[in-house]
Chains A and B, each alone.
Chain A
Amino acid sequence: MDASLTLETGSGFWTPVLLLLGLVVCIVLVLIIRAFGEKSYKRGTEQTKPFLSGNAEGNKDAMHVRAGNIYWGFLEALKGYYTPTVGAHTGDVTDYLIWYIGVMAVVLGILLVGVLL
């Protein structure tokens, strides 16, 4: 058992420590570039307030994009898949038991046919 930093995946290799070292180098570079940036920035002043083309900033609560709005288009486009799939999740225990018996019958059928073949 000779453990190393590199995981052999069968067809390739994976060395997370190398990736992390690369990330560290990138972060250092970013910080160096940042150090050359504008130094007159002051927190809590007009500089840091949102600028919406001169319009007043709206209510913070109303501006947050809620979970229900995210991927709305994706879900709408796949309505044909989602309508029956969501519908199958009835929350009714009787349905769960029917699924259970049905799946057991299918598994038993496959196993028995598998042996007969």
Chain B
Amino acid sequence: MPDVIAADGTVRNDNWVVVARPADGDSLDIPVGQPALIPVDLWLAGYEHFTGREDLGVWFDSHDEPELLGERVNELPLIAVNFPRFVDGRGYSIGRLLRERLGYQGELRAIGDVLLDQLQFMKRCGFDSYVLRADKDISKAGRCLNFFSQTYQAAADNDLPLFRRRAS
């Protein structure tokens, strides 16, 4: 049961579980009675079967392409993006594309090597929940999400860059 940080820094507990990609030849093992996130390509492959399920979401690895989901994106209650290593910045582009290009409205969660000092970037790229790596001090998340009260460029959290806000 992960502790989940919300974009405002508050912490809650939920029971979404991330189902790892099965090894070649193995079948996908979706737990019963617990909401689960499965690899995005497998959800698409089993779309006829999975569609409409409120207890099933997907997770992207950092090389997965958000464009794959197309218009189906808003059928999903929860999407997670894995940061395999915190220095792998592809997840930020995935977040923005899901929000700004595909218009995803549901919850977008950062999982994997999620550290305190990356939360601010994730928030700006459209993530609104974060599962911090277990060894990090979750009590500092709120502070690390809110170092800046002003930003120069547009992103998923604000489509107006500072120059347009300055002008208005």
Task: Tell me whether A and B are bound partners.
Answer: no
Give chain B's interface residues, CB within 8 Å of chain A. none
